[in-house]
Amino acid sequence: MTEARIIPLNDRIRSDVAHNARVWNHWLGGKDNYPVDRAVGDRVTGMYPSIGEVARADRAFLGRAVRYLAGDAGIGQFLDIGTGLPTAGNTHEVAQHTAPDSRIVYVDNDPAVLVHARALLTSSPEGATEYIEADARHPERILRAVEPTLDLKKPVAVMLLGTLNFVLDTDEAQHIVRTLMDAVPSGSHLVLTHPTLELGGEGNEAAMRFWNENATPPITARSRAEFAAFLTGLELVEPGIVSCARWRAEPGAVEVAQFGAVARKR
Ligand SMILES: C[S@@+](CC[C@H](N)C(=O)[O-])C[C@H]1O[C@@H](n2cnc3c(N)ncnc32)[C@H](O)[C@@H]1O
């Protein structure tokens, strides 16, 4: 019988291959990345100059969506899958600023995020934050692990921001969304962002090809119809499916090639 070997965390972090969480951090102006992440990130920016705007627009969307959910929608629990490296305006900071007793579970499968997870665990005394290292492809496992931080009998905001694009098979991505949304009660919400080739984004397609040959994990874009299918059976919150830059944003916000939407489970 072979003995199970525990691989130390630092041995699991590959500093020779660009990783999405760290490159995303670079595009957001963060410092938690390696030379290989900066090199690949800058090559992508050379091909697809608006990628930095996409990353910033996605984070700004997160802020507006979470403020709406913790405020007007009265949601007290957040399951943020594909969290990314900590940055300004993490989900718990935004939610607890509005409702200090908000409870947040973060999930990511990149070991670099685990290293920095302490920064995600600075909950208000009234609320709670938890970090789980897990793969979005195992939603049942995630659902088992979120309790007791989250009470799945009460509404939850399930957040998959820039994450389903790393699940290349659309049926599998659909299964993830359905499994998560089936497990939460009426009044819960789904919050999504996803890259697309349909909203402009000069150079996006070539940059994704370059990414898939040089970095990890591989990525895919989806059409509006595919994005809308993730929200089937849910009630879209105004303004519906738009570029995430335009979701409840100031008039005149410049569109980026990333869909964003919030929808409520009836
Ligand atoms: C583009 S970043 C988005 C980060 C954050 N949600 C945001 O919107 O700023 C995608 C994140 O998803 C994570 N991720 C990718 N595939 C994943 C998977 N199969 N399971 C869990 N996390 C995943 C990456 O490690 C990365 O941190």
Which candidate, 29, 206, 34, 232, places its Cα nearest to that of 115?
34
pLDDT of residue 10: 73
Cα of 108 vs centre of ligand 1, distance in Å, is: 6
pLDDT band at 4 (very low <50, low <70, confident <90, very high): low
Query: By alpha-carbon position, which residue is closest to atom 11 of ligand 1?
Result: 82
**Which residue, among 94, 82, 230, 235, has the nearest Cα to 161 in the 3D structure?**
82
In the predicted structure, residue 67 carries a pLDDT above the cut 90: yes
Nearest CA, atom 1, ligand 1: 162
Q: Is 41 in the pocket of ligand 1 (CB under 6 A)?
A: no
Q: What angle separates helix 20-27 from helix 35-47, to the nearest 10 degrees?
A: 70
Number of H helices, E strands in the chain: 10, 10
CB of residue 21 inside a 6 A radius of ligand 1: yes
Q: How far apart are the C-alpha atoms of 197 and 75, rounded to whole Å?
A: 32
Is the CB–ligand 1 distance for residue 177 below 6 Å? no
Convert the pLDDT of each residue in 151-170 to its tens digit.
999 999 999 999 999 999 99
Rounded CA gap, 5 and 80, in Å?
A: 30
**Residue 159 CA: which ligand 1 atom is closest?**
6
Q: From the CB of 113, is ligand 1 less than 6 Å away?
A: yes
**Span 15-264 CATH architecture:** 3-Layer(aba) Sandwich (3.40)
Asked if pLDDT for residue 206 goes beyond 90, the answer is: yes
